[in-house]
Structure 1
Amino acid sequence: MKKLLILAGLIQPFLAFGQAKEEVGQSPWGKDDEIGALNRMSEESKLAILSRIASGKTYDLSVEYFVGMPSFHALGDPGYQFWLTHTPRGTVVDNPNGLGDTMNNKVSYTGDAISMYTHMGTHIDALNHFGLNGKIWNGFSADQHLGDKGWKKTGAETIPTIIARGVLLDIPAAKNTESLPPNYRITSQDLKEALTRQGLSLQAGDVVLIRTGQARQYEDAAKYLDQYPGINLDAVKWLVEENQVMLLGADNLSFEAFPPEREDNWVPVHTYLLAEKGVMFIEQMNLETLAQDQVYEFAFIASSLKLRGASAAPMRPIALPIRPKH
């Protein structure tokens, strides 16, 4: 892939100049809050959605990890690596357990290891991933809270298990097309059209997943990374400020579209959600089967790895169809 359009976009002459001043948000849930909008979950809200599960059918919304998978290598981040640490025949030759040929010929042994950037595959961005002017969500500063081994605040280990009402917004279907145009910016009007087509409305505390169709290219990294569509600022502001969504997700590489909308910020959607509003989001999801079956409302259940201090963590979300609410 050529240099990410993110970089080229910084000099695009048609980009909008900065709108309102961008500042990190102070949490309405207190000075020690590290999870932002996920505070909208409660035991009651989780039980309410779980009680509506209609069947045992499960939709896995995650992608596979494999050597050659899409990654942010254009920004210098490492790709996914996999290697074997033990093999059945190698164990016989090396005898690492000291048990000898007879035992190692009988009991085969395979072991492996991986190395990867935390923002690979299906993952959730933690609130420390992007900040503004040296601070992240809730005013935590890099000077005070960033150590050699990661952030002391809002690390991926703080992200709770998420159980909530999920809503899929299928944008290509709403536009009666198989593929969105290159670098297409999804607007709030697009989201409203999808909701109308699907006969749904949003509720405070929802998890909203946006299908761009990009996941169909996931096995081919060059195509998946090339000029992918994503959401714009107008759309996320409508979701967060007017609908009070709790969590967002999409099937593209980096949630928002590039080149950036603002001349003074190369990731305005990221900083608006994470730094200003405390709303996390999931990237690189697989929403194809959910869309094919036209399951637009569901129980969303997900947990991420507790990577202490990390700015993201792999996540395996699932969706279970629910009964309509009477």
Structure 2
Amino acid sequence: VMDDPMGVGETMNLTRSYTGTAFSMYSHTGTHIDALNHFGIHGKIWNGFEADKHLGDRGWNVTGIEKFPPLIARGVLIDVAGAKGMDMLPDSYRVTRQDLKDALARQQVKLQQGDIVLIRTGRMRLFEQPKAYMANPPGMGLDAARFLVEDSGAMIVGADNLSFETFPSEVSDDYVPLHTYLLAQQGAPIIELVALDELARDKVYEFAFIGGPLKIRGGDAAPLRPVALPVRP
């Protein structure tokens, strides 16, 4: 038997220990960001890319999460639940354009081009109860998403619920219309399952957002650890 060139073995193990961990997880587990290839519409994802030409055997060759740069931008929290005097919006509540405007006015905050905008529904208070958290969550309506992206210029949007939008769908032939609208038509990534209660508690509505998704080649999403640095005392 040949000696291990690194000297690894029983003698070494008496004085040196080693720990290693393997990970296996769905790309949309926990706080994560959706890449632009996550959903398509009429056979095409963002930028008109078709699967026949751009989908490889290990994921997409275009728009994968590894293409994302570090995310550094002005972050804005819109506390819709707080603006309504609620700890959490009701089940299946669909956030409207007016809800967003009312919350922004209450917070005395205006959206700017290139913002990362995060919506608080209050759903995170049920996060430790998976069935309750996932069942009939409140979420964004399609017109509210248009207000954020088309009218206000948000670069990325996100929320503290499971799927950003709520159900049932507002569109008869699309079960996730906000995902196809934002990702495939507007090129606006979506952050989901974001913990926003502490920011809301401290009334931190504007902050420097810093986050870096894992660079999974061809990936449709990746875990994200967002950091909010308040810009005001």
Gap runs ≥5 in structure 2 = 1-5
Task: Report what 1:131 is aligned to.
Answer: 40
What amino acid is the match of 1:128?
A: N
Q: Does 1:157 align with 2:66?
A: yes
Q: List per-residue Cα deviations over 1:110-166 (Å, max 9, x = no partner).
A: 222121110111111000000111111111111100111111110011111111111
Identity across matched positions, percent: 60
Q: Does 1:258 align with 2:195?
A: no
Task: Report what 1:249 is aligned to.
Answer: 158
Task: Report what 1:91 is aligned to.
Answer: none
Written as runs of structure 1 = structure 2, the 5 A alignment for 1:164-175 is: 164-175=73-84
- The Cα of 1:104 is off from its aligned counterpart by 1.6
Task: Report what 2:106 is aligned to.
Answer: 197
What amino acid is the match of 1:301?
A: I
Q: Does 1:120 align with 2:26?
A: no
Q: List per-residue Cα deviations over 1:206-259 (Å, max 9, x = no partner).
A: 111001111122122112111111101010011111111111011111110011
Out of 219, 230, 233, the residue aligned to residue 139 of structure 2 is: 230
Task: Report what 1:3 is aligned to.
Answer: none
Partners of 1:99 and 1:209 in 2: CA distance: 50
- The Cα of 1:179 is off from its aligned counterpart by 1.7
Q: How does the TM-score come out when normalised to structure 1?
A: 0.68
Q: Does 1:186 align with 2:84?
A: no
Partners of 1:269 and 1:110 in 2: CA distance: 43
CA RMSD across the alignment: 1.6
Task: Report what 2:3 is aligned to.
Answer: none
What amino acid is the match of 1:145?
A: H
Task: Report what 1:268 is aligned to.
Answer: 177
Out of 112, 116, 119, the residue aligned to residue 210 of structure 1 is: 119
Partners of 2:130 and 2:35 in 1: CA distance: 24
Partners of 1:103 and 1:288 in 2: CA distance: 48
- The Cα of 1:98 is off from its aligned counterpart by 6.8
Partners of 2:203 and 2:14 in 1: CA distance: 51
Task: Report what 1:90 is aligned to.
Answer: none
Out of 312, 319, 324, the residue aligned to residue 221 of structure 2 is: 312
Runs of 4+ with >4 A deviation: none
Of 99-108 and 293-302, the range deviating more from structure 2 = 99-108
Q: List per-residue Cα deviations over 1:159-182 (Å, max 9, x = no partner).
A: 111111111011111000112110
Partners of 2:168 and 2:69 in 1: CA distance: 33
- The Cα of 1:102 is off from its aligned counterpart by 4.0
Q: List per-residue Cα deviations over 1:77-106 (Å, max 9, x = no partner).
A: xxxxxxxxxxxxxxxxxxxx8734443232
Written as runs of structure 1 = structure 2, the 5 A alignment for 1:15-34 is: none
What amino acid is the match of 1:185?
A: R
What amino acid is the match of 2:13?
A: N
